[in-house]
A and B are shown apart, each in its own frame.
Chain A
Amino acid sequence: MKKYTRFINSLSAAIVLSLVAGFIGVAQAAETKAKAGVKKGPLMPIKVSPYKKRPAENAKTVAAGRVIYENACIYCHGIEAKGDGPVAFYLSRDTAPRPRDLTSGVFKFRSTASGELPMDEDIFRTITRGVTGFMPGFEGMPPADRWKLVYYIKSLVPDFKEITDPETIKMVGSTIPSSAVSIRRGYEVYQEFKCWECHGGGGRGDGKKAPDLKDDWGFRLPPRDLTRLNSFKNGSEPADLYRTVMAGFDGGAMPSYADFFEGSEKDAWHLVNYIRSLSE
């Protein structure tokens, strides 16, 4: 009988301890989430379904990606993917953007910190959506082929093999509904961070620094006219703009503002609302 009593007492203690530990863990997790609301990972406000059918990354799919590259991408990005395809010059002779040198390891559209390599999903998103005005979106290409293309592009930069878990920017909080208060705060942030120096007081891309801006390759780079939402190269959804503000454009003139918004990420969302309001 004593044996049973001891066993029941031990079991009860274990259950109670587990419950307490579990409760504490859940409570802590909830508290952390409540405090920060941090999400990590690629910021990609497009349909998620294509991302699930992802073929394995191996020599075979990389080789298949090269064939797709030669059919679809070679005209702008060139045979060796150095951004020197036969169309590159016609596309933009005097001003940026030229097609990207995919071997340089400098990627413009990322969910990762400035200077980091992009995530696979970032490259996939760029292939899928294209770059407004300059690169077509390849939604008409089967998702599996787009993934193979991602693998081929990654194979051009040796660093991709070394970095398996790139540092992503933190998406803190979520979209704040647009309101007069939010837009007003966004305007203040726009002034505080001197966005007007490049984008102009009215956001038309006519700031005093605008004529002198150049990309890393020395091509003149006019700042985006923020009053034309549908011309944004990195997308115009709130999460797209948040990603642009926080990650910046490596190789371009737009810096990352992640450090500036550290601890006051809500202001980044207010800025997003202000920018979007300029097109209304």
Chain B
Amino acid sequence: MKKATFWQKARCLASSVLLAVLTIPILFITSVKEAEAVPSFARKYDMSCNVCHTRQPRLNPYGQRFLENGYQLPGTADGGRKEKHLLGGELNGATLDSISNYMAVRLRADIQQGSLREKVDGVSEDPDIIFPRTVNIFFAGTATKDISFFFETEYDTQDPAESAMIFERSILMFDNLFRPGNGTIKVGRFDPSSLYSFPTHRQQLNPIKPIAETDAFPPAINRIPVLPLAFSAKMFGLTTGGLAAGVANAQPGTEGFAILPFEPYLFNAPVQRGMSLHGRVLGNSLLYQVGLVQGMTAEETPQTRWDTYVMLRYDIQGAFSNFQVSGFYYTASKAAMPTVNMGAGPIAADQAVDWNRYGLAARWQHKSWDIYGTYIADDIDKPVFSGGMALGGASTWETDASGISIEADYLLTDKWMLGARYDAMSSGGLIKGMPAWDQELNQDASLLGVLAKYYPSPNIGLYGRYHHNLESSAKLPTQMGGAEHPATNLTSMITFGVDMAF
């Protein structure tokens, strides 16, 4: 491991000073008196954030039911806590909450210090100080009885490709079909795994994305993310398209061309466009969800593809506890194009491969403990290279991959939470481009992290987290240019940040 230079140490010190300068006033302000400005749902219902969160942003069982019920209190069919405004006009029936009751802002910022063996030339590097990093503005609530909505705009300073305000998620929900709680239709751009037993990205305390460029194959990965690795694509050697010229989003040079093995994908993608139906029909314990989300096939002439998924979740409640277990199956037809590159340019397989994903998750929330884990497996068709593609034909592939993520959080006091997380990924996809390679490309990855979170107020979380790469002990070149393999390149990462919502 390289020793930190003087300038790295200086930057680290400056980062710490800046963090202190930024957070001490917040601590002071929030410790003087209880925060009066709280996010929209808390404002709307005159409640503490902890009614729905174990600690913001992670949902407790009540918050999960609130989400499931279309942002309405469980057991009710209308999210109105207070009398809504009646809008005039010919229809004279539209009602609306006060804007403060459906609009909220979430602000995330952090200081990161990643320790890398090597940095890939030409790839954007980790910025040391990111403040603010992400700003979200939410609009959510009920438009009228049984119709609810969620719109989220996001500005992400870390993502140069999307460094503008974009609509991240936008959902319309039609609730209480058949009978209350039996069915909710969700239409729009949403996270398919929002009801799964493992908290989604939005419920993570400031997920740290990968630093990579995906417009070429193989993708240049400067740093793997500090995300639940079970969510990852896990497959090396895949792209989103063929190599036909003039086809948008399916050729080299287009951002997103190469699929990052470490990026959340399919069922666990942060956003997908489509529709889903969920509800509880066999009593209060069993939740069902079926969904249809839209994508593009990875064929030479991409066409609309419809991925389908089904999820079941079972909840058991006890004294001060809730145990839940979920299982899902997600299938995507012609979702990825196996690709190899021996230095002369990418070579695509004969046809795109189908991609299936299935997983199990369990979560136990008991008194101070919140423990959850998921195992997610992926499989793809065996790639076929023919038609004189000698180099591609010599490649070896692994069609299965799996990942596991486990986290345990412990509420030490009302304001302090400690946590630990373990992530492991058994990679699949391209093993070797040619038999002569002495290293396998699809290296496994695993990270161990510890977290400490301090909540001066229920809507403000200050945190420090440290993640250590358990695979970083040996230098593993990728065989393509001799650069360090991304799975082993990151040795550790330390982060301090703030995640607050108003």
Contacts and interface: CB of A to CB of B under 8 A. Distances in A.
Contacts of B317: 74-75, 78-79, 85-86
Interface in A55-77: 68, 70-76
Interface string B47-64: 110110111000011100
Main secondary structure of the interface of B (DSSP, over half): loop
A31 interface: no
B152 interface: no
Contact of B76 (A72, A85, A230): A72
Contacts of B76: 72, 138, 140-141
A135 B47 contact: yes
Given A84-B320, A88-B320, A89-B320, A140 B78 contact: yes
A136 B60 contact: no
Interface stretch (A11-19, A90-98, A173-181): A90-98
Contacts of B343: none
A82 interface: yes
Given A86-B320, A141-B75, A93 B411 contact: yes
Nearest to A79: B317
A166 interface: no
Given A78-B319, A140-B80, A133 B48 contact: yes
A45 to B, nearest CB: 16
Contact of A86 (B45, B50, B61): B61
A91 B48 contact: yes
A186 to B, nearest CB: 24
Contacts of A137: 45-46, 81
A220 B284 CA distance: 34
B158 to A, nearest CB: 31
Nearest to A89: B367
Given A78-B319, A92-B414, A137-B81, A87 B60 contact: yes
Q: Which of B53, B61, B80, B180 neighbours the largest number of chain A CB atoms within 10 Å of its CB?
A: B61
B320 A75 contact: no
Interface string B65-98: 1000000111111111110000000000000000
B368 interface: yes
B74 A87 contact: no
A93 B366 CA distance: 12
A82 B317 CA distance: 13
Given A79-B318, A90-B60, A132-B46, A71 B74 contact: yes
Contacts, number: 111
Contacts of B321: 86
A95 B414 contact: yes
Interface string B365-384: 11110000000000000000
Main secondary structure of the interface of A (DSSP, over half): loop
B170 interface: no
Contact of A140 (B50, B72, B322): B72
Interface in A85-136: 85-95, 130, 132-136
B44 to A, nearest CB: 9
A140 B82 CA distance: 9
A139 interface: yes
Contacts of B72: 140
B411 A140 contact: no
Given A75-B65, A87-B60, A90-B60, A136 B51 contact: yes
B392 interface: no
A139 B51 contact: no
Given A86-B321, A89-B367, A75 B77 contact: no
A132 B322 CA distance: 25
A204 to B, nearest CB: 9
A5 to B, nearest CB: 68
Nearest to A141: B76
A163 to B, nearest CB: 28
A132 B47 CA distance: 6
B49 to A, nearest CB: 10
A130 B45 contact: yes
A87 B46 contact: no
A125 to B, nearest CB: 15
Contacts of B80: 139-140
A258 to B, nearest CB: 28
A76 B320 contact: no
A97 B252 CA distance: 60
Contacts of A85: 317, 320
A143 B414 CA distance: 35
Nearest to A70: B284
A71 B50 CA distance: 19
A68 B75 CA distance: 6
B411 A87 contact: no
Given A72-B73, A72-B75, A136 B47 contact: yes
7 contacts: A71-B75, A86-B317, A86-B366, A130-B45, A132-B47, A138-B75, A230-B46
Interface of B: 45-48, 50-51, 53-55, 60-62, 65, 72-82, 180-181, 284, 317-322, 365-368, 411, 413-414
The 4 closest A-B pairs by CB, nearest first: A72-B75, A86-B322, A140-B76, A71-B75
Interface of A: 68, 70-76, 78-79, 82, 84-95, 130, 132-141, 145, 230
